[in-house]
């Protein structure tokens, strides 16, 4: 099967369209008209591209149908945060969260359905891994929101929804181009953040890109043993190795640190974290643990978080306590979870019939 045009970086899609229009003896400007409808001025289906003659629209619909994500549900939080649940063509479901803040609209997008990494505090981790998303499904989360209402166009993108983006690098690589390219969504690379637990090959691949995409590293502990208790991936990509790659990254990185009472929130943890972050000039985001993602774990108190942030700051580390958004609709980081119908895929432990 041919790739969808929406699975291709804009330049590659353009080549296909140019060849396709040339084959049909269409004037050159048609390729530009068609191309614009993919990302810069998107249509939900070719029938909406009324600047094109009807037979051309039909031919496009036949040869290059535009895949869509169906909205399965949309919830709005008291703080204006909106959570979209998308149903994919094969029945899988993923979520995106749109977080307005003044003139900024940050969209938190998913890169996988579920996640294989099983961090103990994360609801997505409990879903297990379902599958990788395609470029069209990743960038499509932005596209669908613009199609619904162009005034919702996101100004910032964070890969902090479901999944580990750097374990789906081939698709994320293309999606980053679509997001950033002026022939795509034209969102500045500095406004696009990839969040990872520290998948080293993926970090190297991201570093190799010339654009200034931002990198956030989910650290969550300043000691390897504590981290291993929270994040099984520590066994494969250890704290030390991740920090070495963070140094190589060459641009300023952000450390994400979910604060869990009695686990990683002591003064001693802050001091260790400061010693890791300070030489890198890393910025630290302290996230309140959302208990929704973590039965059995308790969030650190507000006082503890402020004391922890204070210790980091007095050690010369830029640290901020991130506000929780969309808590009332379970839209916050680590709370994204889609209950799948059990009947479609029996669990591997289910007795054979």
Active centre residues (catalytic)? 95, 333
Strand partners, 288: 259
Question: How crowded is the C-beta side of 317, counted as CA atoms within 13 Å?
Answer: 28
DSSP SS3 for 122: coil
- If DSSP codes are grouped into helix, strand and coil, which group holds residue 139? helix
Task: Please select the residue that binds ligand SAH; options are 88, 171, 206, 258, rule is CB under 6 A.
Answer: 258
Select 125 or 288, whichever has its Cβ closest to ligand SF4: 125
Q: Tell me whether residue 136 or residue 160 sits nearer to ligand SAH (CB atom).
A: 160
* Residue of 55, 6, 7, 9 lying closest to 30 (CA atoms): 55
SS3 215: strand
137 binding partner (options ligand SF4, ligand SAH, none; Cβ < 5 to 8 Å by kind): none
Q: Does 121 bind ligand SAH (CB under 6 A)?
A: yes
Q: Does 289 bind ligand SAH (CB under 6 A)?
A: yes
196 binds ligand SAH (CB under 6 A): yes
Minimum distance from residue 237 beta carbon to ligand SAH (Å): 12
Least distance (Å) between residue 215 CB and ligand SAH: 10
**Tokens 């030390």, residue located:** 240
Q: Is residue 171 within the footprint of ligand SAH (CB under 6 A)?
A: no
Q: Are 137 and 94 in contact (CB under 8 A)?
A: yes
The DSSP call for residue 260 is B
218 interacts with ligand SAH by CB under 6 A:
yes
Question: Which of residues 59 and 327 has its CB atom nearest to ligand SF4 in the complex?
Answer: 327
Smaller CB separation from ligand SF4, 124 or 177: 124
- Taking the complex as a whole, the smallest distance from the CB of residue 334 to ligand SAH amounts, in Å, to 2
Q: Which is nearer to ligand SF4, 21 or 300 (CB)?
A: 300
Cα–Cα distance for residue pair 24/36, rounded to 1 Å: 19
Considering only residues 69 through 98, tell me which ones interact with ligand SAH, judged by CB under 6 A: none
Q: Which residues pair with 214 in a beta bridge?
A: 193
Give dist(CA 82, CA 96) in Å, integer.
8
Minimum CB separation of residue 209 from ligand SAH in Å reads 18
Cα–Cα distance between 159 and 111 in angstroms, integer?
Answer: 7
Binds 256: which of ligand SF4, ligand SAH, none (CB < 5-8 Å by kind):
ligand SAH
When the beta carbons of 115 and 260 are compared against ligand SF4, the nearer one is: 115
User: How many other CB atoms sit within 10 Å of the CB of residue 33?
Assistant: 17
83-94: b or e for each residue (b if 16 or more CB lie within 10 Å)?
bbbbbbeeebbb
What contacts 32, CB < 8 A, 6 or more positions away? none
Minimum separation from the CB atom of position 102 to ligand SF4 (A): 27
Rule CB under 6 A: is residue 242 a binding residue for ligand SAH?
Answer: no
Torsion of CA 234, 235, 237, 241, to 10 degrees: 90
The distance of closest approach from Cβ of residue 255 to ligand SAH in the complex, given in angstroms and rounded to an integer, is 9
- Judged by CB under 6 A, the number of residues near ligand SAH is 17
Residues forming contacts to ligand SAH in the complex (CB under 6 A) are 121-122, 160, 164, 195-197, 218, 256, 258, 287, 289-290, 293-294, 333-334
């Amino acid at each position: 099967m041919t790739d969808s045009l929406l699975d291709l970086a804009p330049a590659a899609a353009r080549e296909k369209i140019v060849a396709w229009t040339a084959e049909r003896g269409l004037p050159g400007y048609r390729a530009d008209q068609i191309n614009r409808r993919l990302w810069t001025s998107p249509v939900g289906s070719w029938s909406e591209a009324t600047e094109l003659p009807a037979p051309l629209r039909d031919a496009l619909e036949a040869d290059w149908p535009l895949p869509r994500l169906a909205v399965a549900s949309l919830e709005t939080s008291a703080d204006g945060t909106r959570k979209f649940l998308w149903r994919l063509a094969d029945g899988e479901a993923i979520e995106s969260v749109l977080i307005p803040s003044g003139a900024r609209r940050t969209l938190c997008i998913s890169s996988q359905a579920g996640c294989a990494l099983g961090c103990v505090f994360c609801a997505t981790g409990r879903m297990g891994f379902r599958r990788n998303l395609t470029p069209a499904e990743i960038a499509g989360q932005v596209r669908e929101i613009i199609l619904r209402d162009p005034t919702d166009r996101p100004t910032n993108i964070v890969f902090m929804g479901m999944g580990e983006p750097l374990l789906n690098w081939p698709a994320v690589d293309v999606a980053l181009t679509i997001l950033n390219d002026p022939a795509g969504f034209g969102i500045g690379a500095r406004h696009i953040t990839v969040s990872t637990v520290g998948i080293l090959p993926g970090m190297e691949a991201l570093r190799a890109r010339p654009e200034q995409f931002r990198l956030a590293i989910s650290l969550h502990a300043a000691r390897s043993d504590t981290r291993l208790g929270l994040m099984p991936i520590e066994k494969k990509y250890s704290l030390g190795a991740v920090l070495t790659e963070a140094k190589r990254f060459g641009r300023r990185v952000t450390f994400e640190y979910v604060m869990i009472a009695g686990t990683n929130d002591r003064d001693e943890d802050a001091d260790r974290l400061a010693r890791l972050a300070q030489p890198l000039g890393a910025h630290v985001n302290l996230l309140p643990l959302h208990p929704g993602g973590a039965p059995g774990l308790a969030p650190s108190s507000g006082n503890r978080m402020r004391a922890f942030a204070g210790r980091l700051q007095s050690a010369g580390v830029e640290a901020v306590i991130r506000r929780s958004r969309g808590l009332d609709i379970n839209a916050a980081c680590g709370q994204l979870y889609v209950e799948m119908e059990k009947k479609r895929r029996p669990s591997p432990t289910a007795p054979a019939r």
